[in-house]
Amino acid sequence: MNRAAPEPRKTLDPDVVAQWLARHPDFFVGREGLLQQLKLPHPDTQGTTSLLERLVRDLRHRAEQAEWRLEQLLESARHNEAQYRRTRELVLALLEAEDNDALGQALATQMSERFHTPAVALWCPARLSDPEPHPPQPPRQVLDDHAARRLAALLDGRASRCTRLTPTDWKRLLPHAPAPDQAGSCALARLTLGEPLGYLVLASHDPDHFRASLDTLFTEYLGDVVTRLLVRLAPHE
C-alpha cells in the first residue's frame, strides 16, 4: 500500500497576519511571554534582537529625531528674530537721514555692520540729486546710459537677482569701493515707484555670499524702502 503524499506545508501570508493583528490589538494580552520570545533582525548587526529591545530602540530614535526637529525650529526662530532686529535697526537708521547723501551713507554703514555686506551702490538719475556744485557722495552714483545698460543686463529682465560680479563690473558699478582680485558677488534690485528710479547694488568680495540660489525678498524690500526715501528726500525746485 502506497503511503499518501504529505500535504504541503502551509505558510501564512505576512500581510494577512499583519492585518489580523491590527484588527486584534489585544492578542498579546496574557501572552507576554510570547512577546519576549519574538526575535527581529538587529538593525546594526547580523544578529537578532528581541521585540521589546527593538521597540525601545525605535522609541529612542524617534525621541532623538523629535528633539532634533525642535532644535531646528528653535534655531530658525532665533535666526528670524535676529534678522528682524537687524532689519528694524536698519530701517530706523534710514528714516533718520536728512538728505539723500545721508541716506546712502546710512545704508552703507548699516549693511556693513549688521549684514556683513562691505559694499553698496545706489544708482539714481540726476534729478534725484542736489544740483551742482554738490554732486552725490558715495555710495550714491548718478545713473548714466552705460551703467544702466550693464545693470539691466545683469538683472536679465528680473526685478532682483543674486549673481557673480567680475572685477571689471565691480570697478564700473562700485567705483568707490576697493575691487576684489577675483570675482565677487552681488544682489541687485531695480528701484521703481511708478517709474524706473535706478538700481540698488549690494556687493561682497566673497563670490558665494550672494549665491544665485538665494532668495531676494530682503533685497526687494530694502529697495522699496530706499526708493520711497530717495523720492521723499529729493531736492524740489
**Unique residue bearing C-alpha cell 538593525:** 43
Task: Check: CB of residue 203 under 8 Å from CB of residue 171.
Answer: no
**Unique residue bearing C-alpha cell 558715495:** 138
Which pLDDT score is estimated for 235? 76
For residues 12 and 3, give the distance between their C-alpha atoms in angstroms, rounded to a whole number.
Answer: 27
Residue 139 preceded by cis peptide, ω within 30: yes
Which pLDDT score is estimated for 18? 79
Eight-state DSSP code of residue 234 = S
Mean predicted confidence (pLDDT) in 64-92: 93
Mean predicted confidence (pLDDT) in 92-110: 95
> Options 3.40.50.1370, 3.30.450.40, 3.40.50.300, 3.40.50.12780; which CATH number does 99-233 get?
3.30.450.40
Mean predicted confidence (pLDDT) in 69-96: 94
Query: Using one digit for the tens of pLDDT, what is the confidence trace for 133-177?
Result: 567 889 999 999 999 999 999 999 999 999 999 999 999 999 999
Residue 8 preceded by cis peptide, ω within 30: no
Q: What SS3 class is residue 184?
A: strand
Using pLDDT thresholds of 50, 70 and 90, give the confidence band for residue 95: very high
Mean pLDDT, the chain, integer: 87
Which pLDDT score is estimated for 154? 96
How far apart are the two ends of the chain, measured CA to CA in Å? 124
Which pLDDT score is estimated for 102? 94
Using pLDDT thresholds of 50, 70 and 90, give the confidence band for residue 44: low
pTM of the shown model = 0.72
Show the DSSP H helices in the chain as ranges.
Answer: 14-23, 32-37, 51-95, 100-115, 145-155, 167-173, 217-233
Which pLDDT score is estimated for 9? 60
Q: Give the Å distances, CA to CA, from 101 to 106, 121, 228, 229.
A: 9, 12, 14, 11
Query: Using one digit for the tens of pLDDT, what is the confidence trace for 112-126?
Result: 999 999 999 999 988
Which of 75 and 133 is assigned the larger pLDDT?
Answer: 75
Q: What SS3 class is residue 124?
A: strand
Cα torsion 176, 96, 226, 218 to 10°: value is 100
Which of 156 and 8 is assigned the larger pLDDT?
Answer: 156
For residues 74 and 215, give the distance between their C-alpha atoms in angstroms, rounded to a whole number.
Answer: 21
Percent share of the chain, pLDDT over 70: 86
For residues 148 and 25, give the distance between their C-alpha atoms in angstroms, rounded to a whole number.
Answer: 72
For residues 186 and 205, give the distance between their C-alpha atoms in angstroms, rounded to a whole number.
Answer: 9
pLDDT of 42 higher than 80:
no
